[in-house]
Structure 1
């Protein structure tokens, strides 16, 4: 599977599996009902996807104005830290309100989710590539 279809299937599967993992964990950790935790997980998923689009748009506009446009290791690190840090801050009040916990507890919860998603993204992408093969951009060209 390649192109736009791959991206759509990848995004949907990623979020559906994430919600299926996060909702029960939140329900158990905070003694919240499964429906309550599932709604929160879906809200966080939607916010994360929206933040992803907006953040990447802004980052690429900034990047286009730079004299040096190469995506260095440092620039990729800044991109990742900015994205994740921004998402943690955006989700902080929602998590605190929804779970009726302090901002400190919400921050710790968001940091735990950050660790989970770091590992999950790696494992998911590996599995997705095994099932659907890697995109053309990552395939080695045949040698003649």
Structure 2
């Protein structure tokens, strides 16, 4: 799995002009899944993301996690994280998970984030989405379970 974590002051996702998910302070996640991903990868990422200390404390030091600040998450499925651009100019997405499997794993990932007491908004898996966000920092971190 690959997850791009962006610290945001706000974010929202729309499909056909309908807002499906919207948050204030927290994380906007771009989530990519491949067919070899299992619940082991999900559990690892949920633990890393919920404990990631990138929010400032009273001393302006990145020392707080998303639960410490009562932050929320906007989770967006993003198969293009598995783009292979080594040949030609058109990316190949053959390393991305099959849609049915990826959708199931994406739902499980979001469920496990919610089980941590977090508010999690989502877009619509496989849809053409419009995502708006205000980066805070910016702080952007990439998790790749193939490189843990």
Q: With structure 2 as the length reference, what TM-score do the two structures score?
A: 0.31
Structure number with higher helix proportion: 1
Going by fraction, where is strand more abundant, 1 or 2?
A: 2
Bigger relative contact order, structure 1 or 2 (CA pairs below 8 A, ≥6 apart): 2
